[in-house]
């Protein structure tokens, strides 16, 4: 979860494992990918649109602390393999969500197993918990765990986990909630595979907290201070000053943010860093230059909208 520049550099510099990926898609599409990379701007702007992407940028979206990246990808083996390898290398704690159900398009387990050269192995404890805790379904009145069937095969897909047979099994699958049979599969030491159902995802992630908190560089968030300012000035009016301020405070590890508040009278400026005393010393200067004031909650000084009579 905590991304450090030195760790990223070390990960990228070390020899990568031999994760050879020989999918038919990769071989067949290599020429297409090369041609798209070499396309001119005019060609990109005029060609038929088959695919689209959305890149959301901003510290405020991520929360500004440990979470450094959020990606949404399709149910595609190549996409999953590329993403989990890259994220496992670059980040200390990685969570995936979705794609671990019983249907054909639930390919997360098999894709992540392939990414790290692992086998999918029936996890005995997870299977026993599933059998014990699963409730009968009206749509499957004749289902039996003692009889092989397509329905049983489908269910088993949810407890066949990527396993590294050279490592301790207890480190590769955990059960954060005693009331749930659903395991959290842990691959390559830092990839935690969770379901996409929001209620289950939240419950299992919350159950992981006790084991994670002690590993956080700043468990209670006390090491980071965020100061919010409210300013009536437009972003363009304070941009010059904020650019100078950002350059001045960067050596101290301070980040300067500016956020418009559409439909409101005031915009927000933020200072985020670990040296609280230094941050506090900047308050008078910032208030003066943005003609604003420090607030403790964004929007606390909003005035009711003036409606013309």
pLDDT in tens, 147-157: 999 999 999 99
Tell which of 176, 191, 214 closes a domain.
214
| Distance between CA atoms of residues 149 and 224, nearest Å | 54
On whether residue 301 sits in a domain, the answer given is no
Give the confidence band of 288 by pLDDT, cuts at 50, 70, 90.
very high
Same domain for 272 and 149, yes or no, is no
What local confidence, expressed as pLDDT, does residue 55 receive? 74
Number of domains observed in the structure of the chain: 2
Q: What is the average pLDDT across 20-45?
A: 60
Same domain for 278 and 164, yes or no, is no
| Distance between CA atoms of residues 208 and 184, nearest Å | 9
Same domain for 51 and 182, yes or no, is yes
Tell which of 180, 214, 248 closes a domain.
214
| Distance between CA atoms of residues 277 and 265, nearest Å | 30
* Cβ count near 32 (within 10 Å): 9
Same domain for 83 and 56, yes or no, is yes
Same domain for 191 and 257, yes or no, is no
What local confidence, expressed as pLDDT, does residue 52 receive? 77
Same domain for 187 and 128, yes or no, is yes
The pTM for the full model equals 0.69
pLDDT at 305 over 60: no
| Distance between CA atoms of residues 98 and 111, nearest Å | 12
Same domain for 245 and 285, yes or no, is yes
> In angstroms, how far is the first alpha carbon of the chain from the final one?
53
Same domain for 229 and 101, yes or no, is no
Percentage above 70 pLDDT, the chain: 82
CATH code, domain with 77: 3.40.980.10
Q: What is the average pLDDT across 251-272?
A: 91
Q: Provide the token pair at 85.
A: 């390898």
Question: Residue 301: is it exposed, middle or buried by C-beta count within 10 angstroms (0-12/13-18/19+)?
Answer: middle
pLDDT at 146 over 90: yes
On whether residue 83 sits in a domain, the answer given is yes
Range of the domain at 191: 38-135+145-214
**Between residues 186 and 298, the one the model is more confident about:** 186
Percentage above 90 pLDDT, the chain: 63
Give the confidence band of 304 by pLDDT, cuts at 50, 70, 90.
low
pLDDT at 18 over 70: no
Please provide residue 81's backbone torsions phi and psi, each rounded to the nearest 5 degrees: -60, -50
């Amino acid at each position: 979860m905590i991304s450090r520049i030195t760790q990223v550099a070390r990960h990228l510099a070390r020899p990568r494992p031999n994760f050879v990926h020989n999918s038919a898609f990769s071989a067949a599409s290599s020429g297409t990918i090369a041609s798209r990379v070499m396309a001119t701007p005019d060609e990109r702007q005029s060609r038929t649109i088959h695919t689209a992407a959305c890149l959301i940028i901003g510290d405020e979206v991520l929360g500004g602390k440990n979470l450094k990246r959020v990606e949404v990808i399709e149910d595609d083996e190549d996409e999953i393999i590329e993403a989990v390898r890259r994220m496992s290398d670059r980040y200390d704690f990685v969570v995936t969500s979705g794609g671990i159900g019983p249907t054909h398009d639930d390919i997360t387990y098999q894709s992540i197993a392939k990414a790290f050269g692992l086998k999918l192995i029936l996890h005995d404890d997870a299977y026993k918990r599933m059998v014990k805790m699963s409730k009968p379904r009206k749509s499957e009145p004749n289902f039996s765990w003692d009889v092989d069937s397509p329905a049983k095969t489908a269910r088993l897909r949810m407890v066949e986990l990527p396993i590294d047979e050279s490592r301790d099994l207890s480190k590769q699958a955990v059960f954060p909630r005693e009331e749930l049979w659903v395991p959290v599969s842990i691959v390559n030491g830092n990839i935690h595979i969770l379901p996409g159902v929001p209620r289950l995802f939240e419950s299992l992630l919350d159950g992981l907290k006790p084991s994670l908190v002690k590993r956080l560089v700043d468990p209670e968030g006390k090491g980071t201070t965020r100061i919010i300012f409210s300013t009536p000035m437009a972003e363009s009016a304070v941009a010059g000053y904020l650019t100078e301020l950002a350059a001045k405070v960067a050596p101290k590890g301070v980040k300067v943010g500016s956020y418009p508040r559409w439909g409101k009278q005031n915009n927000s400026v933020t200072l985020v860093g670990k040296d609280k005393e230094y941050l506090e010393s900047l308050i008078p200067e910032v208030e003066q230059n943005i003609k604003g004031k420090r607030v403790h909650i964004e929007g606390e000084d909003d005035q009711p909208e003036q409606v013309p009579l």
